[in-house]
Amino acid sequence: MIDYRARLSHLYSEKGFVFSLSKKELKAKYSGAKLGIWWAFIMPALLAISINFIFTKAFKVDIPNYALFVLSAILPWLFFSQGLSEATNSFINNSSMLKQCIFSREIIPLSSILGNFLNFSFGLGVIIPVFAVFNYKILFLLPVLIISLILFLIFLWGLGLILSLMNVFYRDVSCFLSLGLMIWFWVTPIFYSPGMIAYPHRIICLINPVTYYMLTFRDLLYYGRIPWAFILIDFAIAFFTFFLGYSIFIWKEKELFKAL
């Protein structure tokens, strides 16, 4: 039987190493870039403005402050897609360090995700005052937003553990993921709401686990309300994915070095 408490306790004792690796990942991301970490805000803002122009002018979408509607979901989506992509390749990219150093191996995908989370947090910190100008109520919901972010992080870590291991044994996984994320983007309610899609096509959106995180962030940031039902679903998805991913990782951990 897996002693999750002992494993996580040992992992916590290595938190300094985790954060140093995460900061290293963040610095490497913007090495040589003049605007540096400001790209964490510029990229989603430009995407939101572009989507706003296309859908309000060409498709006549009638949603107030549509750019903010899109931004409330596209910012966490970019964190999700970038974090998952980098976590998937993390064991292969750090194979030499894995063989030379002694530490908890699950730190590797976690540090990739945390590096992207630091990047995402900066962009979110810049954009929250903009949301607050249009709806001041969101300032009172920041503690709930933090909880939702933690759940999203746990979900992503669990999924990252699964895909990073699969990518070691089957190197095509990262290629399929790139294609999968493009499709995943369109079936996630980022620039639309599930109510805008008729049944039975809406079912595709509703069985997508990322949907509920995007709807949670949109409710908190755009509508200024607490989506208790979505948060409960987020909680269930996060811990199911995490324990599944961690169990698979522990099961395959001994085979990791042979495959690298």
> Which H, E and C letters describe 63-104, residue by residue?
CCCHHHHHHHHHHHHHHHHHHHHHHHCHHHHCHHHHHHCCCC
Kindly state whether residue 4 falls inside one of the protein's structural domains.
Answer: no
Domain hosting 55: range is 18-27+34-259
Instruction: Decide: 86 and 112 in contact? Cβ < 8 Å.
Output: yes
The pLDDT of residue 4 is: 74
The pLDDT of residue 141 is: 94
Kindly state whether residue 7 falls inside one of the protein's structural domains.
Answer: no
The pLDDT of residue 40 is: 64
The pLDDT of residue 254 is: 80
Kindly state whether residue 57 falls inside one of the protein's structural domains.
Answer: yes
Kindly state whether residue 11 falls inside one of the protein's structural domains.
Answer: no
The pLDDT of residue 260 is: 66
The pLDDT of residue 33 is: 58
Dihedral sign computed on CA atoms, order 62, 68, 69, 73:
positive
The pLDDT of residue 59 is: 63
- The number of domains in the chain is 1
The pLDDT of residue 185 is: 93
Q: Which two tokens stand for residue 50?
A: 């572009």
Kindly state whether residue 148 falls inside one of the protein's structural domains.
Answer: yes
Kindly state whether residue 9 falls inside one of the protein's structural domains.
Answer: no
Instruction: Decide: 108 and 94 in contact? Cβ < 8 Å.
Output: yes
Kindly state whether residue 223 falls inside one of the protein's structural domains.
Answer: yes
pTM: 0.89
Which segments in the chain show pLDDT lower than 50?
none
pLDDT in tens, 247-258: 999 888 788 766
Kindly state whether residue 250 falls inside one of the protein's structural domains.
Answer: yes
The pLDDT of residue 127 is: 85
